[in-house]
Structure 1
Amino acid sequence: MSLNARIGRIETLLERAEPSAVELATALLDLYGEGLTRIMAAADDDLAARLADDDLVAHLLLLHDLHPVDVRTRVTEALRGTGAEVVAVDHDLVRLRLDGCHCSAATVERAVRDAAPEIERVEIERPPALIPADSLLGART
């Protein structure tokens, strides 16, 4: 089962769970989070990077705000070669500028969400046209 499928299953179960079951899940998350905090504190940079490269472990690190690579760097790396440039990262928002037509907006947005699942909004700015439409549609004399 894929990571996204597992996460979806957990979310579905939590929605249907009794309050005591949700409390139990929260307590377990806190316990595992403390364990991960200790692991990351003891890990050298090489081990931390290798842990962050694993999709499942990276998700757990993100869940507990322990990922060793900041959002901007993860998004920038994910967009390398797409023609998209990171303009700003602000909490749950990433603002991008698409340069040319290397990739579709949907492809770029998917890359951002895969690299930084904590991002809730992606805004894409397109560069101005080479020839402004106003000049093409100007008044005829």
Structure 2
Amino acid sequence: MAQPSMTQSEVEQPPDVAMIGERIEHILGELEATADQSIVEKTEDLVHTLLDFYGSGLARIVEMVRETEGGGQLLEVLAADDLVKGLLVLHDLHPKSTLERVTEALDKVRPYLGSHAGDVDLLGVDADGVLRLQLKGTCDGCPSSTVTVKYAIEKAIHQAAPEISDIDVAGVVEEKPAETGPGGRPLLPLQAIECPVPEDAL
């Protein structure tokens, strides 16, 4: 039976590097739970060998690009691509540091925070890859500010710096427990509908 052909959008859609990494970890976990330990060790060795091989090749490409005329600008263009950025981050080859990319991400989301009378300070990244932020101000007239503002910040940061393991946002005031309807399901407040996170803020 003939396999259905992919649409143009499916062909052009780049794979998510983070999701691929999670898939690899999931497969290795399944192997560890069901296979012989020697098979698990050989499989892990194979994965690491392939990663080292492709990482070395990518590092050489980056080195050659930097050595060519206009290479710095070309590298910036490549690093702005979601797929290439993920690979560069994975092999610690991105031309911008984690803090630089996080700072740029926060700058992009600040207009949205400002529209809700808020701002955020970058406190730093610890040795475990946890990003620490300090939220300032309030979301005037928007009870769902804690959720929407935190979501906007986290989405922007994870897109810019997928290597961040966790985000600790200080200064977030938890909202009162949501009212529940039949079956104990939380009722969606009207303000949550009126206070969406705009796409252009991310």
TM value normalised by structure 1 = 0.77
CA RMSD, 1 decimal = 2.3
Tell me the matched-pair count.
Answer: 128
Match of 1:69 among 87, 91, 96: 96
Match of 1:126 among 171, 179, 182: 171
- 1:114 is aligned to 159
Listed as ranges, the gaps of 5+ residues in structure 1 are 128-141
- 1:134 is aligned to none
Match of 1:31 among 53, 65, 73: 53
Listed as ranges, the gaps of 5+ residues in structure 2 are 1-12, 32-39, 66-70, 114-118, 140-147, 173-202
Q: Structure 1 residues 93, 8: closer, same or farther in 2, change over 3 A?
A: closer
Work out the CA distance in 2 between the residues paired with 1:48 and 1:70: 14
- Displacement of 1:66: 0.7
Moved over 4 A (4+): none
- Displacement of 1:85: 2.4
- Secondary structure of 1:104's aligned partner: helix
- 1:88 is aligned to 124
- Displacement of 1:30: 0.5
Q: Which amino acid aligns with 1:96?
A: L
TM value normalised by structure 2 = 0.56
Q: Determine if contact 1:76/1:85 at 8 Å carries over to the other structure.
A: no
- 2:29 is aligned to 15
Work out the CA distance in 2 between the residues paired with 1:29 and 1:60: 10
Question: Percent identity between the aligned chains?
Answer: 38
